[in-house]
Structures are given as structure tokens and as C-alpha cells.
Amino acid sequence: MSTPIAIVYSDLHLEKYKQHNEGNRRVNNAIDVIRETRLKASKLGNLVSLFLGDLYHKEQALTNDILELTLPYLSKYFKSPKHRTIAISGNHDQSRQNLIGNESPSYVKTLSQVFDGFECIDFQSLEFIKGFHLHGVPYITHDLGLIDWINKIKLGKGKNILMLHTTMPGAKDTDNREIQAHLELNEFNKAISRFDLVLCGHIHKPTMYKVDKTTVVQVGAPQQQRLTDKNCKMGYWIIYDDLKVEFVHLKKYPVFREIEDPKFKTNSSDFWVIKPKPKAVKVKVELDRNKFSSTTNKTELAKNYVKQKGINEKKKKQALINVLKKVE
């Protein structure tokens, strides 16, 4: 029987959003994801948590408001080394271009120096439990040198798990739209096939597939953040010691719902969005006046008239012809 070894989540995007954030509920819900996954990890035997990047949303600067709302809780959940969270940096964690040999400052790296239970493994490898090795590669701007770096990673004895934050070739977002990737499919698949399991943050739709014998997990976001997420089930993953993975849908958080009229809104806490009314299309019918004159053949006059009016019934057309023929 397989045993769980880690909890995986990604793309929290902590931010004091202007919409659907009454009472800071969106911030609170995102923080609650950390609490929820930490609680699950504890129940399953104090598992390690793996975070795949994009902790905060605004990469350039954090406001006093968002720091006030989040830092006390991050301290609570990340302070103890007994409850480990191992992370890599996403693009929203970085303030400028992130390149191999010229790395950007990162929220994840900075907080790993503050909280003992929060570890950053950007461009690093470690054996997080006996026989299981993690290899962390943060978001790299335009994926420059990513394939070469992956190919140079030295694998450990046992099972090897690659942690990425990028757009994998063929990745689809929550609206099933394929996202353009910088990586070439065959090169990427060849590079990752050396690993037993690949975990990837960045794209918000949770997905799992196989590349040869390698299991690939697009971790996705834990809860809906945009209207395009409206039909997507979101949550976190559990990894087992045989490297099988299980997706856990977090049903407790609000989802986006599109409605045509505010009166259809219920009292639920979901994010209600009113569909914009379609613009009326004015169809201008230009009549060919040359075909409507006193000398026009009565049959042709009737045919032209019913055509312009969109009348298709033969009986009506014939009735009009008969009436016109009676007119002297």
C-alpha cells in the first residue's frame, strides 16, 4: 500500500484585489489554502509541503496593506522547521528578469531567509526524505537556458522529482485555451524524461499526463482567481511514495458565475459577474429603386418586394402577384 510523502500546491497570488474582495475575503481565502494544506499534511503524518511559485501577485512592490494582512499568517505557518515547505520562485515573485547567473530578487528567496520552515531551492537539489530527491528550477525569463540546465542536473540515487515554474509545451489554461510556450516539445520531453516526476507551476489549470514513464503534473492554482476559471475545478495534490499523484478539489472557496441579469444572483458567496449585453446590430437594407417603378413587371415587383421583406412563403408571394395583376 502506498504512503503519502508530500502535499503540492502553487500560484496563490496573494493580493488585495479591488473586485470581489469584500472584507478582504480573497486574501483570506488564499491564506486559508496554506492553512488547509498544512492541516492535511499534518493529518497524513506531518508531510512536507511543496510550493511551485507565485506566492504574491505584484512582483514589483508589496503595499503595507498586503503585508499587514499576510505576514502574521505566513509567520504562523512557515516559522517552524518541523513543518517544512520547500518552494521555488515564480515569475510573480521576481522583480526583474531572472536569468541563469543573473538572478532576480524573489519573495520566495527572501522569505526563506526569514522563516525556518520555508525553504527556497531555486537552482538547487536536495534529498528531502530518504531516497527522494527534489530539483528546483525557478521561473527563467523566456526559458533562456532552461533545457540545458535541466539536462545538467545530477540525479540522486532513488526517486527524482523536478520542480518547475514555466509554460510547458501544449499547456492549456482553465478556459482550455492553449498557451504559447517558448520551449520546443520534443526537446522538453526528452529533458524531463530523466525524472520520475515533474511538478510545474505557472498555468492555473490542474492537469496530469505521462511522458514515457515520467508523470507530469501541471499543479494549477488552488482556487479560482479569474472569470476564465469559472468552469475549472481547482485544488492541490498529494504525492505518494510510489510517485502516484492524487488531485484534491478544494470545494469550499467561491467560484465565478456569469449571469445575464442581477436578479438571478443568489445569496451565495460566489463571484457574480454580469454578462455584457450584446450590442444591437443595425441592418441597413438598401432598396434597388430601379426595380420598383410603375413600369416594372407585376410578377418581378412582387418577387423583389417579398425578397426585401424576407417573406419566404410561396402562397403569400403568389397572393401579392395576383393582387398586383388586378391593378390597372
Per-residue model confidence as pLDDT tens digits over 118-153? 999 999 999 999 999 999 999 999 999 999 999 999
The model's pTM: 0.83
pLDDT digits (tens, 9 = 90+) for 269-303: 899 898 887 776 665 545 455 455 555 666 776 67
Residue 101's pLDDT band (cuts 50, 70, 90): very high
- What would the mean pLDDT of 71-78 be, rounded to a whole number? 96
Q: Closest by alpha carbon to 145, among 187, 204, 173, 199?
A: 187
Q: Decide which of 268 and 161 is more confident.
A: 161
Which grid cell is 302?
412582387
pLDDT for residue 275: 86
Is 306 a residue whose pLDDT tops 80? no
Q: Give first-to-last CA distance, the chain, whole Å.
A: 97
pLDDT for residue 276: 81
Name residue, grid cell 499576510: 70
- What would the mean pLDDT of 229-234 be, rounded to a whole number? 96
Q: Which domains does the chain have, with CATH numbers?
A: 4-259 (3.60.21.10), 289-326 (no CATH)
Q: Give kind and range of the element (H or E) at residue 142.
A: none
Is 319 a residue whose pLDDT tops 80? no
Q: Closest by alpha carbon to 240, among 43, 81, 44, 53?
A: 44
- What would the mean pLDDT of 161-184 be, rounded to a whole number? 97
Average pLDDT of the chain to the nearest whole number: 90
Neighbour order of strands in the sheet with 124-129: 124-129, 132-136, 159-165, 197-201, 214-218, 207-211
Is 305 a residue whose pLDDT tops 90? no
Is 231 a residue whose pLDDT tops 90? yes
pLDDT for residue 61: 87
pLDDT digits (tens, 9 = 90+) for 178-224: 999 999 999 999 999 999 999 999 999 999 999 999 999 999 999 99
Is 262 a residue whose pLDDT tops 90? no
State the Cα–Cα distance between residues 83 and 95, nearest whole angstrom.
28
Q: Decide which of 314 and 58 is more confident.
A: 58
